[in-house]
Structure 1
């Protein structure tokens, strides 16, 4: 039986991390700038399309490099740089969580 309360507590613990708080704040700043928000959404959609359409990792990396060059001005924006940094830090946190779960389950 799934313990919903334990899951809620786990999610709340993640939401209370500095990484999540920083990411949420950075996203709020992006959302306040309509043009920047639209550019980010366009970039993320194109990146997702690449992930689903590429047959090999090399093809994906090549096309992603081209996409990143096309959106280079987006990445030079200080607000976007802060968002990307916060996103990376939150991603690292989640990776650590997954690793800890995996290591704990190795006992089974």
Structure 2
């Protein structure tokens, strides 16, 4: 794996409105609250499902706080994708009052 410190990253404030977002959190986290329109592939499934990720497009990778998304960004970069790690993850997204949806009847939240 290449040096993870050299991977591209960005803040939630700098994600373009039309960005492709890949959420690598677990199912229960996704169901509690996620970005509308994001793609969901848990980190543990990424090595089998990376073919579902858009090629030749910037993909913003997010998790709860940034650790798993950094791992996913490194994996995708080594596999020929153009990933960008989202610093602070969904916690930063929620702190910035960005919109979320949930798969339950409850108010969206970050777990």
Q: TM-score, normalised by structure 1?
A: 0.25
Structure with greater proportional helix content: 1
Structure with greater proportional strand content: 2
Q: Tell which structure's C-alpha radius of gyration is larger.
A: 1
